[in-house]
Amino acid sequence: MTDDKKDKEFGFATRAIHAGSRPEPLTGARNTPIYQTTSYVFEDTDHAADLFNLSRFGFIYSRLTNPTVSVLEERCAALENGRAAVAAASGHAAQFLTFFTLLEPGDEFLASRNLYGGSMTQFGLSFKRLGWTCHFVDPTDPENFRKALTPKCKGIFIETLANPGGIVLDVEKIAAVARDAQIPLIVDNTMASPYLHNPIEWGADIVIHSTTKFLSGHGTSMGGVVIESGKFDWFKAGKFPTMTQPDPAYHGLTFYETFGDFGFTTKARAVALRDFGPSMAPMNAFLTITGIETLPLRMERHVANAQAVAKFLAGHPKVEWVSYAGLPSSPYHDLAKKYLPKGPGSVFTFGVKGGFDVGRRMVEGMELFSHLANIGDTRSLILHPASTTHRQLSEEQRVASGAGPDVIRLSIGLESIEDILEDLDRGLSRATK
Amino acid sequence: MAELSYTDAYIADILGSVATIAMVGASPDWVRPSYFAMKYLQSKGFRVIPVNPRAAGTQILGETTYADLAAVPHQFQMVDIFRNSEAAGPIVDEAIALAQDKGIDVIWMQLGVRNDEAAARAEKAGLKVVMNRCPKIEYGRLFGELSWSGVNTKIISAKRQRLRR
C-alpha cells in the first residue's frame, strides 16, 4: 500500500538553516528576502475571491500572511516537528491567538503556576475579562492537573522548563492527563528552545514560543509563534465547536474538516490574527530567521556557560542557594536529564545571603550583566523578578512561582566565561560590603 | 491503526501523471471542502469530473455531474473519494470494475477517509492508492504553495524552484 522507502529526515541543524527557505524562484536570491510589503496583486477577481475564501493558497495582506514571515513559520514548525505554525507580534500575542481559537466565553483551562509572570497576569486577570477562567496548579505533581480539571476545561498550559528558572516539569505525565481528558496540552517552550526540548515528542499538542528570546537570540526582535502537532483529534474530543462546527466568522467554513491537521493554525490565522491583528513584522521575521540559523551553536554555548555559572555560584560563600536543574543537587536534575539532555537552558535563579536589599544592590552593581527584562540574548542579563517581571502578582503567587523577594534571575549569555564569572563575583562582593 | 506514510516521490508521480479526476462526493456548495479541492485542482490544470447522485445532471464549476463512476462518459485516471470511510468501500469496488474501461490508475481517499480493506483490493487489482490525504494539500506541499501557510512541508532544497501556475 505505501512505499517502503521513507523520505529523508533532515537533522536539526540543517532544518535550522534551510526549512521553509528555498532560493527565491524569480531572482534566485539565496537568503530569505525581506518582503517589506503589505499587499499582493490578484490575478483577477476570481483569484481574489478564492484567496479570501481560503480555497487557494496565496498572499493577500500581510496582517494574515507575508512571504518573509511564512518562512519563519515553516522553520519553527520544522524545528518542533510540528505540522504547521502561525507567527504573531509577540509571545503574548501567540498565547492570545491560541486561546481565542480554543475557547468560548465561559470556558476554562488549567495552567502551571510556575510560569513567566506576564503569562500569569495575562491568564489570571486579562483573560478573565474575556470570560475565560484559568485555574493555576502546582505542577510538580502531574496528578494535580487531573484533580483540578473541570468539565469546562479546554486545555492545559505549562512551561516544561519554567521561568524564572530551575524547575522542570514531567511533561510526559502531564500530557497523559491531557490525553485522558481529550484536551490539548499547550507548552510554552521559550525557555528551552526547540534545540534543547521538543514538547511534541512527549505528547504536547500545541507549542508556543516567544521568538524574542533564544530563537531570535540577539535581543533585536519581538515575536511569537504557535505550532500545532497536527495530531489532536478535534472531532473525537467533541468539545471544540470552534474547530468542528461551521464558523460564522468565516462564511460557514469548518476548519478542521477543510484543513485537517493544520486546521488549528489556519483558524488562528484566518480568524484570530485577521480580527485582532497582532501580526509579526517582516523585518522581525527576517532577523529571527537569521538568528535561528545559529540556534544549535548558540544553545550549546548558552548551556555550557550556564552550567559553569551555576557551579560557581553554588560554591560561592555569599550565595544562599542556586536553582539550576543542571546541578546534581537540584530536585529536578533527573527530569532535566530526561527532557533536556543537552542542558536545562541558561536562565535560572539564585538567592543571595542577606535577601531583598543585597539582591537589589547586586543587580544594580553589575558591569557586564545588563539589568533588563528579557532572556535569551547573546548578552548576559540580570533581573530581580519580584520587583519587575513578577511584580503584578501577589506575594504568595510570587513565592509559589519561584520569584520570592530574595530571588535573582540570570540569563547567561555568550560572553567569555571568565568575564561572566568575574562580573558576578564582583557584584556579589559589592552588594555585601 | 498504523500511520499512513507515502513518499514525496510516490505522491508527485501520481499528481504528475494524472490528467482527469473523477471526484466522488463533489458538492455544489461552495463552502464545502470538495468544492475547494475541485476548484484548486482545476486551477492547476486538472480536469475534475464531479460524481454525486444528488446533483446528477447539474453543473459544478463548469462540469456536468454524474450519478456514479460508470455514468462518466470520459476517461479518468484517478478517483478522488470525498465520502466517509465505510462508503469508500463500494466506490473502490466500482472503480476496480471500471479500471480497464475508464483507464483508472489511482484511488485517492480524502483527508479523514481510510478503508484498508478496500485499499488492499485496489492494490491487488494493480491500482495505486492514497488514503487520508488531500490532493490539493499535497500538490501545494510539493510545489511550494503550502509553505505560504506556515505548514511544515518537510521539503528542503537549495535548488531554485520552478514557477508553476
CATH classification of the domain holding B26: 3.40.50.720
Contacts of A1 in chain B (CB under 8 A): 4, 116, 119-120, 123, 129
- Residue B141, domain extent: 8-147
Note the pLDDT of residue B27.
96
Any bridge partners for residue A185, and if so which? Answer: A156
The Cα angle at residue B58 between residues B55 and B64, in degrees rounded to 5 = 105
CATH architecture designation of domain A295-431? Alpha-Beta Complex (3.90)
Contact (CB<8Å) B151/A1: no
Spatial neighbors of A314 by CB under 8 A, at least 6 apart, are: A322, A327, A329
Contacts of A234 in chain B (CB under 8 A): none
Q: Is A237 helix (H, G, I), strand (E, B) or coil?
A: helix
Contact (CB<8Å) B149/A266: yes
Question: Amino acid identity, residue A115?
Answer: L
Please state, in angstroms and rounded to a whole number, the distance separating the CA atoms of residues A305 and A284. 27
> What residue spans define the domains of chain A?
12-291, 295-431
User: Which long-range CB contacts under 8 A does A175-181 form with residues at least 24 apart?
Assistant: A175/A202, A175/A203, A175/A204, A176/A142, A176/A203, A177/A142, A177/A143, A177/A145, A177/A146, A177/A149, A178/A145, A178/A203, A178/A205, A179/A203, A180/A146, A181/A146, A181/A149, A181/A153, A181/A156
The answer to whether the beta carbons of residues B126 and B6 sit under 8 Å apart is no
Q: Is B12 part of a structural domain of the chain?
A: yes
Contacts of A85 in chain B (CB under 8 A): 150, 152
What is chain A's length? 433
Note the pLDDT of residue B165.
53
Q: What is the ipTM of this complex?
A: 0.91
Contact (CB<8Å) B160/A15: no
Note the pLDDT of residue A3.
46
Written as nine digits, the cell of A412 is: 547567561
Please state, in angstroms and rounded to a whole number, the distance separating the CA atoms of residues A112 and A359. 26
> Scanning the structure block, which residue is given the C-alpha cell 533588563?
A372
Note the pLDDT of residue A4.
57
Could you give the number of structural domains in chain B?
A: 1
The Cα angle at residue A193 between residues A190 and A199, in degrees rounded to 5 = 85
The answer to whether the beta carbons of residues A397 and A369 sit under 8 Å apart is no
Alpha helices by DSSP H, A247-354 = 255-259, 263-267, 274-276, 282-293, 295-314, 333-339
Across the range B121-135, mean pLDDT stands at 97
CB pairs under 8 A between A and B: 128
What's the gap in Å between the CA of B134 and the closest CA on chain A?
Answer: 9
Contacts of A60 in chain B (CB under 8 A): none
| Main-chain dihedrals φ then ψ at residue A326, nearest 5 degrees | -80, -10
User: Which long-range CB contacts under 8 A does A240-249 form with residues at least 24 apart?
Assistant: A240/A102, A240/A154, A241/A104, A242/A101, A242/A102, A242/A103, A242/A104, A242/A267, A243/A101, A243/A267, A246/B31, A247/A271, A249/A275
Across the range B61-70, mean pLDDT stands at 98
Note the pLDDT of residue A335.
98
Contact (CB<8Å) A56/B154: no
Mutate to test the interface with A, among B115, B145, B151, B159 (most CBs of A within 10 A): B151
The CATH number for A12-291, chosen from 3.40.50.300, 1.20.1050.10, 1.20.210.10, 3.40.640.10, is 3.40.640.10
Residue of A nearest to B157 (CA): A22
Q: Is B58 part of a structural domain of the chain?
A: yes
Written as nine digits, the cell of B7 is: 513518499
Note the pLDDT of residue A203.
98
The tens-digit pLDDT sequence of chain A (433 residues) is 444 578 889 999 999 999 999 999 889 999 999 999 999 999 999 999 999 888 899 999 999 999 999 999 999 999 999 999 999 999 999 999 999 999 999 999 999 999 998 999 999 999 999 999 999 999 999 999 999 999 999 999 999 999 887 899 999 999 999 999 999 999 999 999 999 999 999 999 999 999 999 999 999 999 999 999 999 999 998 999 999 999 998 888 999 989 999 999 999 999 999 999 999 999 999 999 999 999 999 999 999 999 999 999 999 999 999 999 999 999 999 999 999 999 999 999 999 998 888 888 999 999 999 999 899 999 999 998 887 877 888 888 888 878 888 899 999 999 999 999 999 999 999 998 7
Question: What pLDDT band is residue B163 in, cutting at 50, 70 and 90?
Answer: low
Residue of A nearest to B165 (CA): A43
- State if pTM tops 0.90: yes
Note the pLDDT of residue B164.
64
Note the pLDDT of residue A54.
87
Residue from the list B10, B120, B152 with its beta carbon closest to the beta carbon of A82: B152
Spatial neighbors of B72 by CB under 8 A, at least 6 apart, are: B22, B49, B51, B66, B102
| Main-chain dihedrals φ then ψ at residue B161, nearest 5 degrees | -80, 135
Q: Is B13 part of a structural domain of the chain?
A: yes
Q: For residue A133, give Cα distances in angstroms to A100, A136, A178, A398.
A: 13, 10, 17, 20
